[in-house]
Amino acid sequence: MNLERKPETLTLGEAWRRGSEQLRQAGVEEANADAELLLLYLLGVGKAELLRDWREILPAGKMEDWEALLKRRATGLPVQYVIGEQHFYGRVFAVSEDVLIPRPETELLAEAVLRIGDELWPDEAPRVLDVGTGSGILAVTLAAERPFWRVTASDLSPDALRMAERNAGRHGVVDRISFVQGDLLTPFVENGEACIDILVSNPPYIPSADIPGLQREVRDHEPHLALDGGEDGLNPYRIMASQLSRLARLPRLVAWEVGAGQAEDVADLLRTAADWREIRFVKDYAGIDRHVLAMK
């Protein structure tokens, strides 16, 4: 008599349900959504195909990989790092623990810069600088959406710059973006000939004391260099605001993402740095003033 146990078979729906429960028991807040993302990644299909094949059997050769993906996510590693990618403004960007995971609210910053840029330079090619580019989401998006704009991406981290360049290549704009390593505006202050029309940045803005209390996925896995904004979270803005007057000329548009409750303070820093025609705020999906835009 053959007593060898046959491998367990699961439908895709059963695999998702078990995976969701496994992640939930591991303390994952978005267990259902993350299990779905992992399953889509494992199968290389879209959501419509997954729903269509919900009752189909998970291929036997995929079971071990499925369990490995769930195990990695259960440790607290963000799902985006597990699968190595995140969507932003309709494009897929490679991500790793060298860079922050792109957030949906940053799409609103890109949208605002594109709209105002078109108003200020209807027939010209503005020079854009993305400070603290990380995975390159802003620089790549602006270059891809406006092929005639001249874009520079900078970051203090060489690993982040390599990721940004990789994403620029992935989306066909690597030849239209210059990559510069350096801290905030320092490389461009030192180069007195550098003229910037649009300065965009999503710098670190978490107060140092708040980092230990962040969600474990952020605290334990996202780079602290891209999170820690100093004692009150405003250090990068103070430094960049103080550096504006030392540039070859003042940008006509400064667009910065800020932390909750920081918009007024950042606006005051900009008012102290220069005279602006207008400073406005853009709210995020939760109604928080998330972006500060200064125009002259």
Annotated ligand binding at 203? The verdict is yes
Annotated ligand binding at 205? The verdict is yes
Annotated ligand binding at 44? The verdict is no
Annotated ligand binding at 237? The verdict is no
8 A C-beta contact, residue 134 and residue 202: yes
Annotated ligand binding at 89? The verdict is no
Annotated ligand binding at 90? The verdict is no
What distance, in Å, lies between the first and last C-alpha atoms of the chain?
85
Q: State the residue for tokens 């989401």.
A: 137
Given the DSSP bridges, would you call strands 278-283 and 198-201 parallel, antiparallel or unpaired?
A: unpaired
- Residue 184 CA to its chain's centroid (Å): 17
Annotated ligand binding at 157? The verdict is no
* Nearest of 135, 140, 144 to residue 103 by alpha carbon: 135
Residues 6+ apart with CB under 8 A from 200: 109, 113, 128, 129, 130, 131, 138, 142, 254, 255, 256
Cα pseudo-dihedral 113, 115, 117, 120, rounded to 10: -140
Annotated ligand binding at 133? The verdict is yes
Annotated ligand binding at 106? The verdict is no
Annotated ligand binding at 134? The verdict is yes
* CA angle in degrees (0–180, nearest 5) for 38-40-41: 65
Binding-site annotation, residues for S-adenosyl-L-methionine:
132-136, 155, 202
Binding-site annotation, residues for substrate:
202-205
Binding-site annotation, residues:
132-136, 155, 202-205
